[in-house]
Amino acid sequence: MLKRLVFLLVLLIATPVAAQHLDDRLADPAQELRARELSRELRCLVCQNQSIEDSNAPLARDLRRIVRERVAAGDSDRAIMDYLVARYGEWVLLKPRFNLQTLLLWLGPALFLVIGGVVVFFLYRRQRAVTAPPAAPLDAEEQKRLAALLDDGERR
């Protein structure tokens, strides 16, 4: 039983190590760091909500290779991103750029918050307007008339 637990523990520890791709690292540590940072900003097109740095999909491996080739060739970060967007579309970016096409994506949450605030404000005002003020107390004549109506109702 203890051997099985140790084996499972070793597997759990070894899994993240297996995810590292040691064969495609760049020789220059600064370039490797830059390639990893860029890879964290790119979406795996297979996994969709995972960066290509974290994905083990074959397409993610190919994209990491492209990023490393371009970094090694001396391309700027912007040029590398532009190349990948031109090839795969805006979807490849985990954080979409702010432009006319993504305006609603970036401003949508704030817009919904403002619309919700306006709706709550008007509902609150409407609720306050509908609530009637408390009735004034009855004077002596109204109390006699009410008593007469109640007595008449009890006799029926």
**Domain coordinates of the chain in residue numbers?**
2-97, 102-155
Task: Give the model's confidence band at 71: pLDDT under 50 very low, under 70 low, under 90 confident, else very high.
Answer: very high
Average pLDDT over residues 77-98: 88
Q: Strand pairing partners for 62?
A: none
**Residue linked to tokens 């009410």:** 146
pLDDT at 22 over 50: no
Single pTM value for the model: 0.55
What is the model's pLDDT at position 156?
65
Q: Which two tokens stand for residue 94?
A: 């985990």
Sign of the four-CA dihedral 42, 44, 48, 49:
negative
62: Cα separation from own chain's centroid: 27
Q: Can you give the length of the chain in residues? A: 156
Residue 105 has pLDDT above 50, yes or no: yes
Q: What is the rounded CA–CA span in Å between residue 42 and residue 64?
A: 9
CATH topology of domain 2-97: Helicase, Ruva Protein; domain 3 (1.10.8)
